[in-house]
Amino acid sequence: MDIGESLTHFDLDTIKDVFSIIGIVATVVLGTIGLFTWKRQLRGTSEYELAKKAVFLTYEIDQLVNNVRNPMLYLSKEEVEAGRRIEEELRIYNDRLQELFNKWTELQLVRLEAKVVWSTAAHDCFDDIKDCIGDLKAAIWLHFWMKGAYAGSGTQVDNNPGRVADNDKVIYFLSEDDEFSKKVKGSVKKIEDYFIDKVRS
């Protein structure tokens, strides 16, 4: 074997090794880019689903608040005739509130997850809807207190017409433009404003 043949053989082996190394490096680089892209897509999908869930559950809360405030009560005839009208009304409101509280529990979990993913601002945007639910619960309690549902014998209940009328503004849905409805809609909009871009993007 002469020197020329030896160099050619050496050059071919070197070229093969170089191409092999380039191939390995390219595979690793492309794999890393692919993994990064996949993780980013997965994270984007998870954030999208969380934002969508936050808005959707908020809409459900809005509907359930309206349901609680629905002035139509379908009382059991037997209960009313037995002299348990207040107890029957209280049962209906308790059932409605329980649905609302169950949905709020679901939204609370989303709220905590949103805080982890985004920031405290994501958590805090739910504060107003929480306050609305608390106000409604308190108003219903006061409604039945003023009707004497919780008062023992001899207890003085302040149920003057002005106080009842003010409380009824929270208890009963009158229209989309009543004061409490506007407060609820404002709290829903605050959540929409925070999450809607995350859903649409």
Q: What is the pLDDT of residues 3-47, one digit of tens each?
A: 555 555 556 667 666 667 776 776 666 666 655 554 555 455 688
Predicted local distance difference test score (pLDDT) of residue 42: 42
How is 50-88 classified by DSSP, letter by letter? Answer: HHHHHHHHHHHHHHHHHHHT-------HHHHHTT-HHHH
Q: Which of 66, 86, 42, 188 is nearest to 129 (CA)?
A: 188
Q: Which residues of 140-170 are buried (b: 16+ CB within 10 A; e: fewer)?
A: bebbbbbbeeeeeeeeeeeeeeeeeeebeeb
Give the Cα separation of 57 and 191 in Å (integer). 10
Give the Cα separation of 80 and 76 in Å (integer). 6
Predicted local distance difference test score (pLDDT) of residue 38: 46
Q: Long-range contacts: 150-154, Cβ < 8 Å, 24+? A: none
Query: What would the two tokens of residue 139 be?
Result: 């108003």
Q: Which of 51, 18, 22 is nearest to 197 (CA)?
A: 51
Query: What would the two tokens of residue 104 be?
Result: 């709020």
Predicted local distance difference test score (pLDDT) of residue 12: 65
From residue 129, give the alpha-carbon distance in Å to each of 62, 118, 158, 160, 190. Answer: 9, 19, 29, 29, 9
Higher pLDDT, 2 or 73: 73
Q: What is the pLDDT of residues 153-194, one digit of tens each?
A: 667 777 788 999 999 999 999 899 999 999 999 999 999 999
Task: Quote the pTM value.
Answer: 0.76
pLDDT above 70 covers a percentage of the chain that reads: 78
- 128 in Cβ contact with 190 (< 8 Å): yes
